[in-house]
């Protein structure tokens, strides 16, 4: 386990982010691959040693929570906010995390540093742990903690300039009475089914709708529209994940004196909006220029969207918890 008051690096053997020559035995091709360093239950280990039991209830049932975090220019962006949300998700499903928030923050920083990354996508996974083939969580004696620091590309780079096409899908967003979307759980089947619909429609992202017919969110991002002089985003009570990036956008909008409304809106409001964009830790901010084959606004990223993207990038480039101190 992670030592009290210590760092994960105290248990790390002296290896860094190693590169090795990999040979594919099926086609004989050779390529260089990175040997990632994974935080696993208090130790930093090479990825080939980061093994999860087939009896882990995170694997068997999606019983656990996770968090996605970004590092920019050697700083972990909004680390404390992400860790707080992770602990809130765990508390909601009665899952114990065997570290304090401060210890978790340190483990995240240590993992990024061990992988020698300046810019990274960090995935923190907490599962209920190893049990048996039954559902009873009491059989899981100890939760499992995994932290991965790597790279991620959610959308092609050119779409951040040109804009994205989306569709609304038949898959409805989970209702809070069943599985509250505020919990960032390992069970992402609701999102995956919506993503499958988007794939079949030939676009990269789907927007899910509530049972009442209101736009909720994408499969991995929050949604904003700019309409009639107001920046509008669905309210948390509608059944959305309260995104950390979403909160940053609301902060920036307030600083820029852009009127903000957290209110439900329909597909009609989306189709007739002046601008639209998605936000998320992995997605960052990406413009939307078409929804259900309706062109939004001029069909190009609008001035409000471009301004918010610029301000967001300025913020991520200058704020955060340093990885190397």
pLDDT-based confidence at residue 83 (cuts at 50, 70, 90) = very high
> What is the helix (H) or strand (E) element at residue 310, kind and residue range?
helix 303-316
Q: How far is CA 52 from the centre of its chain?
A: 21
Give me the pLDDT at residue 31, please: 54
Give me the pLDDT at residue 2, please: 54
Q: What is the pLDDT of residues 197-236, one digit of tens each?
A: 999 999 999 999 999 999 999 999 999 999 999 999 999 9
Task: Using the predicted structure, report yes or no on whether residue 1 has a pLDDT greater than 70.
Answer: no
Question: Averaged over 117-122, what is the pLDDT?
Answer: 98
Contacts of 313 (CB under 8 A, 6+ apart): none
Give me the pLDDT at residue 30, please: 55
Task: Using the predicted structure, report yes or no on whether residue 257 has a pLDDT greater than 60.
Answer: yes
Task: Kindly provide the b/e burial profile for residues 210-228, where b requires at least 16 CB atoms within 10 angstroms of the residue's own CB.
Answer: beeebbbbbbbbbbbbbbe
> What is the helix (H) or strand (E) element at residue 34, kind and residue range?
strand 30-35
Give me the pLDDT at residue 88, please: 98
3-state DSSP of 58-82 = HHHHCCEEEEEEEEECCEECCHHHH
pLDDT-based confidence at residue 82 (cuts at 50, 70, 90) = very high
Q: How many CB atoms lie within 10 A of CB 84?
A: 15
Question: Averaged over 95-119, what is the pLDDT?
Answer: 98
Q: What is the pLDDT of residues 28-41, one digit of tens each?
A: 565 556 789 999 99
The CA-CA-CA angle for residues 193, 216, 297, to 5°, reads 105
Give me the pLDDT at residue 325, please: 76
> Looking at 184, 195, 228, 310, which residue is catalytic?
184
Q: In what order do the strands lie in the sheet with 75-76?
A: 43-46, 37-40, 144-150, 120-127, 64-72, 75-76, 321-322
- Domain 8-150 of CATH type 2.40.10.120: no
94-98 long-range contacts, CB within 8 A, separation 24+ = 94/137, 95/63, 95/64, 95/65, 95/126, 95/128, 95/143, 96/143, 97/126, 97/143, 97/145, 98/1, 98/142, 98/143, 98/145
Question: Averaged over 145-159, what is the pLDDT?
Answer: 96
CB of 114 closer than 8 Å to CB of 17: yes
DSSP structural state of residue 133 = S
Structure tokens at 123: 């995935």
> What is the helix (H) or strand (E) element at residue 286, kind and residue range?
strand 284-291
The model's pTM is: 0.90
Average pLDDT value over all residues in the chain: 92
For CATH 3.20.10.10, list the domain ranges present in the chain: 159-316
Task: Using the predicted structure, report yes or no on whether residue 247 has a pLDDT greater than 70.
Answer: yes
For CATH 3.30.470.10, list the domain ranges present in the chain: 8-150
Annotation says 182 is catalytic = no
Give me the pLDDT at residue 35, please: 86
Better pLDDT: 18 or 29: 29
- The correct CATH number of 159-316 out of 1.10.340.30, 3.20.10.10, 3.40.50.300, 3.30.365.10 is 3.20.10.10
CB-based burial label for 29 (10 Å; 0-12, 13-18, 19+): exposed
DSSP structural state of residue 320 = S
């Amino acid at each position: 386990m992670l030592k009290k008051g210590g760092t994960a690096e105290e248990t790390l053997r002296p290896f860094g982010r190693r590169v090795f020559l990999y040979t594919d035995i099926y086609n004989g091709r050779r390529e260089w691959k990175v040997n990632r360093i994974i935080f696993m239950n208090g130790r930093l280990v090479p990825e080939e040693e980061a093994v999860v039991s087939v009896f882990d209830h995170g694997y068997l049932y999606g019983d656990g929570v996770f968090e996605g975090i970004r590092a920019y220019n050697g700083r972990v962006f909004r680390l404390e906010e992400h860790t707080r949300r992770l602990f809130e998700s765990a508390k909601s499903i009665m899952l114990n995390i065997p570290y304090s928030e401060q210890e978790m923050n340190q483990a995240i920083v240590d993992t990024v540093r061990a992988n020698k990354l300046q810019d990274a996508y960090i995935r923190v996974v907490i599962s209920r742990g190893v049990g048996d083939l039954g559902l009873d969580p009491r059989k899981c004696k100890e939760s499992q903690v995994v932290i991965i620091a790597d790279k991620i590309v959610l959308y092609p780079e050119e779409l951040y300039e040109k804009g994205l096409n989306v569709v609304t899908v038949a898959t409805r967003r989970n209702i809070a009475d069943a599985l509250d979307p505020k919990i960032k759980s390992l069970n992402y089947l609701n999102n995956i089914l919506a993503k499958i619909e988007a794939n079949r429609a030939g676009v990269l992202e789907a927007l899910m709708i509530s049972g009442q017919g209101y736009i909720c969110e994408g499969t991995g991002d929050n949604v904003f529209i700019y309409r009639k002089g107001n920046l509008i985003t669905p309210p948390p009570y509608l059944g959305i994940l309260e995104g950390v990036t979403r909160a940053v956008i609301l902060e920036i909008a307030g600083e820029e004196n852009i009127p903000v409304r957290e209110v439900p809106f329909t597909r009609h409001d989306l189709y007739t909006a002046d601008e639209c964009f998605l936000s998320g830790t992995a997605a960052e901010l990406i413009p939307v220029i078409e929804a259900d084959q309706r062109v939004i606004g001029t069909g190009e990223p609008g001035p409000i969207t471009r301004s918010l993207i610029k301000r967001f990038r300025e913020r991520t480039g200058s704020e955060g918890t340093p990885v190397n101190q």
